[in-house]
Structure 1
Amino acid sequence: MKNKEWKMKNVNDIFFNKKLALIHYSLFISLLFLSSCKIYSFTGTTLSKDLKTITIQNFVMNTAGGPANLTLTFTEKLKEYYQRNTSLKLKPNDADLLLEGAITGYELTPVSATSGDKAALNRLTIRVEVRFFNAKNEDENFEKEFSFYQDFPQEQTLAQVEGSLVPKIIDQLVLNIFNDTAAQW
């Protein structure tokens, strides 16, 4: 009986060791893929290790309409996102990376017409022109327009929904800008 128990224990040890070896092998292969080509992090950034600082200039308003604090809110959300998701330090000027730009559109347009020539939905769109400069790699510099929108029912006025829609739009714009500058998706 003892011999049978010993054989069973030995078989379980071998199975456990094979399973452990397979897990180690899988982790090794995963790390190998992550370390090839570019520098990846768990926040999704591909920033070079020699990039230490970023300057985010206050965005300006180049359009009519929108809340009075739109540019300030947008700029602060952008700064906060970079601080939270990278190791870059904010610097007032002469940084490794520079982001600047303007809000160029704050538009309300009707979409999805009904039979009575009334809009079933209205769309709030915010457009932002962004200039990105990388002092360490000028090939990554760009000037690009980003835009995002949210729809809302025509029964509601812009004043009723602006407080909830604008933060959602800003959050998505910040994410899109971050992806194009720090994550380069």
Structure 2
Amino acid sequence: MTIKHYFILLITALSFTACGSYSFTGAKVNSNTKTFQVNYFQNNAALIEPGLDLDFTNALTDLLINQTSLDNVKSNGDLVYEGEIVEYRISPTTATADDTAAQNRLTISVNVRFYNKQDEEAEFEKRFSFFYDYDGTSQLIGTIKTTAIEEIFDQITQDIFNASLAQW
């Protein structure tokens, strides 16, 4: 091998080493943190949507599995997420000339308590909320409801991830 080949090999090795602790998701996880736990998020909203509690718990668990290399455990996790769904509300956002809703909004809010065994200063209790607007002539059923809930959960779970692991 020539000196040029050694130089290229050295630069390549240093490049891979330098990127070793980088995360494309922006997660900042202590090297001693190995596990996470998502406790069941009970639905305490005034308006109860059946299955919403389990769907949210699964959505948050799936996001953490997909965006971290941490192991999901049922108890004694290094990171613990728990809380409750505190709001599921449908409200009109705009009206027509004849006082009917031109657009409706579904709002879901979740209260989250986050515990971190490796960094107690990172712990928090915080409310996360997001909404989905849909046509006032439509009912919140079928694909409209499925799409609304998925979009809201995508945003809320990402916000929880950012607050707990990306510190955004």
- Normalised TM-score (structure 2): 0.84
Confirm or deny that 1:42 pairs with 2:24: yes
Confirm or deny that 1:97 pairs with 2:79: yes
How many Å apart are 1:66 and its aligned residue?
4.3
Could you tell me how far apart the structure 2 residues matched to 1:59 and 1:92 are?
14
Larger Rg: 1
Q: Which runs of 5+ in 1 are unaligned?
A: 1-16
Q: Which runs of 5+ in 2 are unaligned?
A: none
Match of 2:51 among 56, 62, 69: 69
Pairwise mapping of residues 34-183 of structure 1 onto structure 2 (< 5 A)? 40-160=22-142, 161-183=144-166
- Bigger RCO (CA 8 Å, 6+ sep): 2
Corresponding residue of 1:10? none
Could you tell me how far apart the structure 2 residues matched to 1:67 and 1:44 are?
33
4+ residue segments displaced more than 3 Å: none
Kindly tell me the number of residue pairs found equivalent between the two proteins.
Answer: 158
How many Å apart are 1:116 and its aligned residue?
2.3
C-alpha RMSD of the superposition = 2.3
How many Å apart are 1:71 and its aligned residue?
0.6
- Normalised TM-score (structure 1): 0.77
Identical-residue share of aligned pairs (%): 38
How many Å apart are 1:126 and its aligned residue?
0.3
Higher helix proportion? 1
Could you tell me how far apart the structure 2 residues matched to 1:174 and 1:40 are?
21
| Residue type at the aligned position of 1:182 | L
* 2:156 match: secondary structure: helix
Residues 122-173 of structure 1, C-alpha deviations (whole Å, 9 max, x = no match):
0000000000011111100100000010000111012252122111111111
| Residue type at the aligned position of 2:101 | A
